[in-house]
Amino acid sequence: MQAIVLSDHVEVRDDRPSPTPADGEVLVRVLRAGVCETDLQLIKGYMGFRGVLGHEFVGVAQSGPLSGRRVVGEINCACWNCETCRKGLNTHCPNRTVLGILNHDGAFADLIAVPQRNLHVVPDSLSDDVAVFTEPVAAAFQIPAQITVRPDDRIVVLGDGRLGNLCAQVLARLSRRVLVVGKHQEKLALLQSMGIDIARLSDPIDERAADIVVDCTGSESGLPTALKLVRPRGTIVLKTTVAGVQTIAWAPFVIDEVTLVGSRCGPFDQALHALERGFVNVQPLISDRFPLARGLEALERAQTKPVLKVLIDVN
């Protein structure tokens, strides 16, 4: 089959063997996949991943109870046996593999093997272009799954990129006071057209005033900025990882009793529901698309500014 394979370099191959589904896994014929910041980090050496890239996808199940149906798949493949899994923390299973990220081939390929229990049926009303956003939208829904968001909470989202946009859209349905702080005129203009308040990083923004600050910058400057904006006893949510070691004075967290929440993968059912109802508008985020054979161009395009989402058309 054809696949985008990462070894010591990244290449499109036509001779990749089809994946062999493990116990409890089914093959999914990939229709469309999305390029994510994590893919770009993996190419730079993050996690030391080797294999087929890609974890945002929509496809058609080839066997099992959902055979022939359009599906999306949660990316954490847990053992369901260990103490962590038994506590319901399966996305943190120490034995897990992660599609296209950790010891499991991903979705930039004609076929991907996915645990049956990770699959969710895509409602007929959702196009492939919309369904492919389920994974990142679910990640945005992880914020209200972890913390209480009240209608009058002042929320600042740092970062106007792919994830910042989706987090802002999800949070704007829960609070009427969401402000996105970014650097890119076009990306901020898109958010504004969605009815979300925007500011540039250089604009004056009330310090020590936000109930919740969400860091989607993927940058070392995100956390210090968040700390400046959050109010005493407020909450900072970290949505993006920063490679390497980060130095910060921790005393303000104690003095101001700030809560720091790390946040990663989220609920697919809520994401599909929101996409179906049109609560989250993803189509304007699609900047470009390439067939799988031109996958390297897709990866390159995803690194240029001001791109939001680049899709790969597979089958």
- CA quadruple 164, 212, 41, 196: dihedral, nearest 10: 10
Binding site residues, Zn ion, CB under 5 A: 36, 38, 78-79, 82, 85, 93, 95
Between 217 and 235, whose beta carbon lies closer to Zn ion?
217
Degrees (nearest 5) of the Cα angle 243, 246, 252?
140
Between 95 and 193, whose beta carbon lies closer to Zn ion?
95
Between 82 and 102, whose beta carbon lies closer to Zn ion?
82
Q: Is the separation of the CB atoms in 58 and 66 below 8 Å?
A: no
Supply the minimum distance, in Å, between the C-beta of residue 140 and Zn ion: 11
151: cis peptide before it, omega within 30°? no
Between 75 and 230, whose beta carbon lies closer to Zn ion?
75
Between 70 and 239, whose beta carbon lies closer to Zn ion?
239
Supply the minimum distance, in Å, between the C-beta of residue 151 and Zn ion: 29
Supply the minimum distance, in Å, between the C-beta of residue 35 and Zn ion: 9
- Residue 189, number of CB atoms within 10 A of its CB: 12
What is the per-residue burial (b if ≥16 Cβ within 10 Å, else e) of 110-144?
bbbbbbbebbbebeeebebbbbbbbbbbbbbbbbb
- Residue 85, number of CB atoms within 10 A of its CB: 18
- Residue 289, number of CB atoms within 10 A of its CB: 16
Supply the minimum distance, in Å, between the C-beta of residue 106 and Zn ion: 10
Residues in contact with 187: Cβ distance below 8 Å, sequence separation at least 6, in sequence order: 160, 161, 165, 306, 308
Supply the minimum distance, in Å, between the C-beta of residue 294 and Zn ion: 21
Between 47 and 79, whose beta carbon lies closer to Zn ion?
79
Supply the minimum distance, in Å, between the C-beta of residue 271 and Zn ion: 13
